[in-house]
């Protein structure tokens, strides 16, 4: 008795027994009484198959649209809600780097005064992303929605500008840190140059074009020895790749201002510190190591000269950022075509009172009530500069910028936040 497999697929193809062939012919004849009927059945099966795959594709596309990390009905609703303006004459601001140190403070300040704010951040791991997530959670409680994506994502930026007609962009996303550039130079080019260009392209193509305020850096002054540093000084001697990318950013933004009529304000920040700060900054790492009983490394310059920085408290920086947004003026382009000249400005935002690093350590010791174990060494050739000192006269005149927090007061506020955030009680960790 032949098996079913043998019945359907004979071992010698093409050699059917006569009686089996007659039987199969009768079966086919019953199902398809003519060749035209077979043709119609074939068309029907093809159409049915095509319809099935089209439906599957539609369902799959819809599913991706609804569940993607960005995009979809719910996502657009969150973006629009976060961007809503709640004060007369307010603005709608896209803040890049919103989960960062300065970005989170600026976003919160804008939201509190009634402006619309949408954040953008890629939550990279340059330092502990959990701190960025905590800032995001804080902003969320105040109604600020942060899109998790990279500023190099041109499609995402186009979508954001399609969903919201942003009046302003506060561009704070960047790869920070002077020394890290020696380990990962590509990250600086990716974020500080390519990311900036991607954002400029989105802004110049937007209709209406937003006004742009962005974070340059005091690092652009590089090896400049004239003090205090003025916006009129030459900045063609960068001491680090980080500084070079920020200098490049100033030239790039000038180009977009000149060609496309984008209103652009660059802010040269001077050593920003305070609550929710960056763990890679000296004051932050000093605090951590002092509390843990670990030694701290204090660099000194040539001829044993103490390094000095123009430490600027975060609240003062935020005032400068908001003042820049408020006075930015309008972009003059439309759909990438310039109609007239637009503002292009650069300001120093500092405290204009440099303090030596040993003095910083002494203040921290007083607030922490713990003596630091110090290793004093000569500054290596890693891109750091011996001092910074800001001339802020232009910002005073045009922005009404006036720093009010000295280092003693600012560090006291930082230490209070640090002990609370990391669970310390009287200088000891809480179990």
Domains of the chain, start order:
13-66 (no CATH), 174-429 (3.40.50.720)
Write down the pTM of the prediction: 0.83
What is the pLDDT at residue 157? 98
Q: How far is CA 159 from the centre of its chain?
A: 16
How does strand 295-300 pair with strand 373-378?
parallel
The whole-angstrom separation of Cα 350 and Cα 352 is 6
With CA atoms as reference, report the closest residue to 101 among 75, 68, 136, 69. 136
The whole-angstrom separation of Cα 391 and Cα 218 is 11
The whole-angstrom separation of Cα 48 and Cα 305 is 83
pLDDT in tens, 57-90: 444 434 433 334 778 999 999 999 999 999 999 9
* CB environment 211-233: b (16+ within 10 A), e (fewer): bbbbbbbbbbbbebeebbbebee
What is the pLDDT at residue 383? 58
Contact 238, 268 (CB under 8 A): no
Would you state the structure tokens that stand for residue 268, as one six-digit string? 């040269």
Reduced to 3 states (helix: H, G, I; strand: E, B; else coil), residue 156 is helix
DSSP-based helix, strand, coil % in the chain, nearest 5: 50, 15, 35
Would you state the structure tokens that stand for residue 255, as one six-digit string? 């180009």
Catalytic pick among 242, 260, 283, 401: 242
Q: What is the pLDDT along the chain (431 residues), one digit of tens a residue?
A: 443 333 333 333 333 333 333 444 444 344 334 444 444 444 444 444 444 444 444 444 344 333 347 789 999 999 999 999 999 999 999 999 999 999 999 999 999 999 999 999 999 999 999 999 999 999 999 999 999 999 999 999 999 999 999 999 999 999 998 888 889 999 999 999 999 999 999 999 999 999 999 999 999 999 888 889 999 999 999 999 999 999 999 999 999 999 999 999 999 999 999 999 999 999 999 999 999 999 999 988 777 789 899 999 999 999 999 999 999 999 999 877 899 999 999 999 999 999 999 999 999 999 999 999 999 988 776 556 788 999 999 999 999 999 999 999 999 999 999 999 999 865 566 54
What is the pLDDT at residue 413? 98
Question: Any alpha helices (H) in 98-153, and if so which ranges?
Answer: 101-112, 129-141
What is the pLDDT at residue 24? 42
DSSP state of 293: T
- Between the alpha carbon of residue 277 and those of residues 29, 227, 413, the distances in Å are 83, 27, 11
Query: What burial class does residue 262 get, using C-beta atoms within 10 Å of its C-beta: 0-12 exposed, 13-18 middle, 19+ buried?
Result: buried
DSSP secondary structure string for all residues of 231-271 = TTS-----SSHHHHHHHHHHHHHHHHHHHH---EEEEEE--
Q: How far is CA 318 from the centre of its chain?
A: 17
What is the pLDDT at residue 36? 47
- The backbone torsions φ and ψ at residue 326, rounded to the nearest 5 degrees and listed phi first, read -65, -25
pLDDT in tens, 343-365: 999 999 999 999 999 999 999 99
Is cis: bond before 228, omega within 30 of 0? yes
**Active-site residue flag, 127:** no
The whole-angstrom separation of Cα 287 and Cα 310 is 19
């Amino acid at each position: 008795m032949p098996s079913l497999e043998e019945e359907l697929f004979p071992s010698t193809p093409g050699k059917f027994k006569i009686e089996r062939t007659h039987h199969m012919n009768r079966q086919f004849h019953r199902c398809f009484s003519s060749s035209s009927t077979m043709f119609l059945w074939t068309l029907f099966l093809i159409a049915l198959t095509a319809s099935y795959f089209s439906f599957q594709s539609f369902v799959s596309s819809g599913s991706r649209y609804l569940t993607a990390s960005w995009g979809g009905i719910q996502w657009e609703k969150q973006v629009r809600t976060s961007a809503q303006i709640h004060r007369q004459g307010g603005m709608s601001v896209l803040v890049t780097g919103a989960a960062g140190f300065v970005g989170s403070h600026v976003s919160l300040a804008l939201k509190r005064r009634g402006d619309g704010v949408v954040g953008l951040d890629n939550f990279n791991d340059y330092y502990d992303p959990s701190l960025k997530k905590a800032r995001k959670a804080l902003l969320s409680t105040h109604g600020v929605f942060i899109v998790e994506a990279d500023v190099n994502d041109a499609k995402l930026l186009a979508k954001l500008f399609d969903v919201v007609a942003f009046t302003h962009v506060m561009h704070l996303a960047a790869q920070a840190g002077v020394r890290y550039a020696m380990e990962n130079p590509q990250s600086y080019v990716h974020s500080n140059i390519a990311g900036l260009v991607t954002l400029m392209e989105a802004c110049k193509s937007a209709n209406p074009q937003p006004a742009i305020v962005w974070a340059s850096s005091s690092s652009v002054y590089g090896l400049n020895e004239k003090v205090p540093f003025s916006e009129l000084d030459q900045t063609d001697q960068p001491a680090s790749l980080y500084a070079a990318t920020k200098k490049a950013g100033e030239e790039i933004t000038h180009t977009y201002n000149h060609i496309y009529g984008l209103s652009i304000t660059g802010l040269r920040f001077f050593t920003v510190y305070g609550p929710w700060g960056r763990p890679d900054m000296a004051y932050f790492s000093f605090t951590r190591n002092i509390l843990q009983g670990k030694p701290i490394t204090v660099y000194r310059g040539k001829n044993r000269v103490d390094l000095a920085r123009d430490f600027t408290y975060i609240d003062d920086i935020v005032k400068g950022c908001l003042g820049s947004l408020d006075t930015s003026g309008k972009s003059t382009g439309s759909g990438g075509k310039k109609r007239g000249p637009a503002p292009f400005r650069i300001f120093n935002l500092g405290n204009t009172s440099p303090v030596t690093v040993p003095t910083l350590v002494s203040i921290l010791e007083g607030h922490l009530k713990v003596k630091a174990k110090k290793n004093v060494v000569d500054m290596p050739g890693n891109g750091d500069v011996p001092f910074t000192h800001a001339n802020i006269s232009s910002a005073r005149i045009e922005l009404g910028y006036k720093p009010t927090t000295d280092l003693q007061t600012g560090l006291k506020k930082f230490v209070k936040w640090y002990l609370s955030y990391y669970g310390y009680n009287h200088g000891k960790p809480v179990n």
